[in-house]
Structure 1
């Protein structure tokens, strides 16, 4: 965005589209990586053994579970944010088109006076 607020805001539709696509792609890649990490960790099985391992296991599993939840939420929010930026771009485009149409109509109305 460029310009002063009293002169309006110059929005680059290409920048918004690129940002939206980048967020969706990054979030999707992140979610794939988290899925692979989850599968790897679940595939390891029970590594804890008996005495000492059983004391560590509960804490490790709780922290791992929470970390994976947070990582997934981050990826999902990136994808959602990218989708929201696409909606924003479409809204700006539609608003600009309506403003152009309104300006043309107003000009025609003034000329008829």
Structure 2
């Protein structure tokens, strides 16, 4: 991706494809990590004990659950964003191809004049 002065950004198919793939892979990795963390935390059993631990338990579990939900949502959004960038790349490629076909059609029409 490069920027041309006064003309905005220049983006290639490879830029879009790479960005979409990177976002998707990052989101998938994030979701796998969150799943592993969730499994680890749930596998720890109940280490809280009777007195002081039980007072902390409810708050800890609530905060942990919320944090895992937020992290999962982030991973899902990255995967979705990656999918959307892939759609954008396909649309960009199709538009470019239509533009090239139209330019060729116009050139042929001019040659016949």
Q: Considering the TM-score relative to the shorter chain, is it more than 0.5?
A: yes
TM-score by length of 2: 0.88
- Counterpart CA distance in 2 for 1:69 and 1:52 is 27
Report which stretch shifted further, 34-43 or 102-111: 102-111
The alignment partner of 1:50 has SS state of: coil
Deviation at 1:43, TM superposition (A): 0.6
Unaligned runs of 5+ residues in structure 2 are none
Provide the secondary structure at the position in 2 that maps to 1:45.
coil
The equivalent residue for 2:30 is 30
2:77 alignment partner in structure 1: 77
2:63 aligned partner: 63
Q: What is the distance in 2 between the residues matched to 1:105 and 1:4?
A: 31
Q: Which residue of 2 aligns with 1:96?
A: 96
Aligned residues: 112
Distance 2:9 2:105 in 1: 22
Structure with the higher fraction of residues in strand conformation: 2
1:2-13 → structure 2 map (5 Å cutoff)? 2=2, 3-4=4-5, 6=7, 10-13=10-13
Alignment root-mean-square deviation, CA? 1.7
Cα distance between partner residues in 2 of 1:19 and 1:11: 11
Query: Which blocks of at least 5 consecutive residues in structure 1 are unaligned?
Result: none
- Give the 3-state SS of the residue equivalent to 2:10 in structure 1: coil
